[in-house]
Amino acid sequence: MNVYSEIIPHFRFEGIDKQTKGLILSGSPCSVRQDNAPQVCLEGIRGSIPVLGICYGAQLLASISGGNVENSPSREYGRASVTIKDASDPLLRGLPETSQVWMSHGDTITSLPEGLKIIASTEDVPVAAYSFSGEPTWGLQFHPEVVHSIEGARILSNFVTGICGCKGEWTGESFIQSCVTELRSQLGEDEVVLGLSGGVDSSVAAVLLHKAIGKRLHCIFVDSGLLRKNEVCNVMDSYGNMGLDVTVADASDKFLTDLAGVTDPETKRKIIGRDFVEVFEQEAHKFKNVKWLGQGTIYPDVVESAKVNGTATVIKSHHNVGGLPEKMGLKVVEPLRMLFKDEVRKIGLALGIDSRLIGRHPFPGPGLAIRIIGEVTREKLETLREADAIFIDSLRKYGLYDSIWQAGTILLPVRSVGVMGDERTYENCVALRAVTSVDGMTADWARIPHEALAAISSEIINKVKGVNRVVYDISSKPPATIEWE
C-alpha cells in the first residue's frame, strides 16, 4: 500500500513514537490461554492511535478487555463466508454484504465484554470482526492479508489509509531519493566493496550504492564454475549496461578441485561457502581504501534473525558471508534492509534495471553443485548446463517463466536403459523441478501443461549428449524441499 511499516517481535516492542500512525497486532500460532502467551503493553497507545488485532491479535485484545477466548469446538480452517453486521463501520467501508474470508484458528472469541461490538460474523464464528466503542480499536478473527480473503486488501486499506490517515507516499521513487541521500551522508568519501551474485537483491543494492557514491563502489562477481550456461556473460552484460565497476574472479578451478570426490550435500555446501569467502576476501583486499562491505540483506533476513525461539533446526546450511565483515575489519552497509522482496523488485525497476534481471528466478548460492546429486565434475556440469538451458528457455518460450517461482534441472546419479535408433543406450537421467511459491518457505510443484513437458523432454533427450531420460518432480515443500540437496 506504499506505506512505510516496521515489524517488531512482541518481546522487542517498546512503545510507539510520534510518527507512528497505527499499530497492527499480528496472528500467532500461540493461544492467549497458554502460559507465556505473547503479550504487549498497550497502555497509553490504545485510544491514542488506531489499533487492529488480527486473529491472535484480536483474541488478545478481546481477552485483556474481559472477553472470553476458548478452544473452539467449531475450529475454522480455510474459506468462510462473512456477513457484515455494521455497514457503517469505517473498517468495513465499501464492502459487499457478504464475502469470502480465510480463517485459520484453534481458539475462538466466544463472548465480548460491554463496549465491544460485533461488526461481522460467519456461520460458525459470531465474533468474526469487532470494534471498540469510544476508541479506534478493532479485531478481525479472519486473515485479511491472504489473497483468499477477497476483500482483505480493501479492509487493510480502510485501516491504513482511511482510519490511520497514511498517504501511500512510500513509493519506489521516494525510497530511492531518501536512500541515496542517507547513503551519501553515511559513507562520506569512503569506498565500498560488494559481492554481486547476478540475483535481484545484490544487483539492486549495487545500483543504489552506485547512484550514491559512483566509482567508489567496487563490485566483485565470483565465478565458482557452478553457474548456469552463459550466466557470467549475460550477467556481466547487464551490469556493464548499468555502469557498474565489476571484477570477475574466475575461481572455477579452486571450487572444482576442492569439491572433487565429495558427495555429501552438507560437506559440499560448507566447502563452497568457505571457498566463496576466501576468493571474495582475496579480491576485496586489492582495493586498498575500502572501509565498507555492501550487502543485499533484505527485511525478511532481518526479521528472521530475530526469531522468537532463536535457533531453528538447520535443514540446509546456507551459503552466506556472515562472518566476513568482522574478519575483514569492514563496516556493513545494507541499503535494502527495510525492504521486502516485492519492494526490492519495484525499486529495481524504478532504477531502470533490466526487467529480465529483476524477474529472474532465485538461484542458490552453491549453484549447480547442489543440483548434481553426488560428486561434481566438469563433465556433469556441462551436461546439466545444457539440459537446464533447454528447460529454462522453453519456460520462457511457452510463457510460463513468470508464473513459476523457481525452476531448475537436477542431474541424478542414476543411469537407465533406453533405445535410440536401433541402439541400446545406458545413460543419465535428469529431473525437472519447477515450483510455485510466495517466499520459498513453502512451495507446490508447478502444473506445467503436459504438451510443454513433452516438448521439453524430447528436446533434452535429443540434444543433450548423455541423457536418455527426463522425469518431473511432483513433490511439494514441505515435506520435500525445493533443491534436492
Name the residues annotated as catalytic. 55, 143, 145
Kindly state the smallest distance separating residue 478's Cβ from ligand XMP, in Å.
9
**Residues 348, 225: Cα–Cα separation, whole Å:** 27
Taking contact as CB under 6 A, which single stretch among the options 151-159, 164-172, 215-223, 361-369 is the one that binds ligand XMP?
361-369
Q: Which of 259, 298, 366, 461 binds ligand XMP (CB under 6 A)?
A: 366
Kindly state the smallest distance separating residue 441's Cβ from ligand XMP, in Å.
8
| Selection from 482, 304, 299 nearest residue 405 by Cα | 482
Q: Which of 406, 409, 457, 468 binds ligand XMP (CB under 6 A)?
A: 406
Kindly state the smallest distance separating residue 318's Cβ from ligand XMP, in Å.
4
- Per CB under 6 A, which of residues 427..466 are in contact with ligand XMP? 440
Q: Which of 90, 162, 362, 418 binds ligand XMP (CB under 6 A)?
A: 362
Kindly state the smallest distance separating residue 443's Cβ from ligand XMP, in Å.
7
> How far is the first Cα of the chain from the last one, in angstroms, to the nearest whole number?
37
Name which of 67 and 364 has its Cβ closer to ligand XMP: 364
Residue 460's contacts (CB-CB under 8 Å, 6 or more residues apart) are 387, 390, 391, 430, 467, 470
**Residues 194, 240: Cα–Cα separation, whole Å:** 15
Kindly state the smallest distance separating residue 263's Cβ from ligand XMP, in Å.
17
| Selection from 119, 157, 162, 130 nearest residue 63 by Cα | 130
**Helical residues (DSSP H) of 242-333, grouped into ranges:** 252-259, 265-284, 299-304, 324-328
Name which of 269 and 346 has its Cβ closer to ligand XMP: 269
Q: Which of 318, 356, 396, 447 binds ligand XMP (CB under 6 A)?
A: 318
Element spanning 194, H or E:
strand 191-196
Site string for ligand XMP, 370-389 (x = CB under 6 A): --------------------
- Secondary structure percentages of the chain, helix, strand, coil, to 5: 35, 25, 40
DSSP state of 360: P
Q: Does 473 bind ligand XMP (CB under 6 A)?
A: no
Q: Does 319 bind ligand XMP (CB under 6 A)?
A: yes
| Selection from 305, 300, 307, 306 nearest residue 339 by Cα | 300
Kindly state the smallest distance separating residue 342's Cβ from ligand XMP, in Å.
16
Name which of 432 and 482 has its Cβ closer to ligand XMP: 482
Residue 206's contacts (CB-CB under 8 Å, 6 or more residues apart) are 194, 196, 217, 219, 239, 242, 244, 294, 296
Kindly state the smallest distance separating residue 191's Cβ from ligand XMP, in Å.
26
Q: Does 365 bind ligand XMP (CB under 6 A)?
A: yes
Interface with ligand XMP (CB under 6 A), residue total: 14
Taking contact as CB under 6 A, which single stretch among the options 59-67, 96-104, 360-368, 452-460 is the one that binds ligand XMP?
360-368
- Per CB under 6 A, which of residues 290..309 are in contact with ligand XMP? none
DSSP string, 467-485: EEEEEE----BTTS-SS--
Name which of 254 and 477 has its Cβ closer to ligand XMP: 477
Q: Does 172 bind ligand XMP (CB under 6 A)?
A: no
Kindly state the smallest distance separating residue 357's Cβ from ligand XMP, in Å.
16
Q: Does 482 bind ligand XMP (CB under 6 A)?
A: yes
Neighbour-count burial of 13, counting CB atoms closer than 10 A to its CB (0-12 exposed, 13-18 middle, 19+ buried)? middle
**Residues 307, 336: Cα–Cα separation, whole Å:** 19
Q: Does 167 bind ligand XMP (CB under 6 A)?
A: no
- The residues with which 288 forms a beta bridge, in sequence order, are none
Residue 277 near residue 321, CB atoms below 8 Å: yes
Q: Which of 179, 275, 364, 401 binds ligand XMP (CB under 6 A)?
A: 364
The torsion angles phi and psi of 348, rounded to 5 degrees, stand at -60, -45
| Selection from 452, 437, 468, 188 nearest residue 331 by Cα | 188
Name which of 215 and 274 has its Cβ closer to ligand XMP: 274
Which positions touch ligand XMP (CB under 6 A)? 269, 316, 318-319, 362, 364-366, 406, 440, 477, 481-483
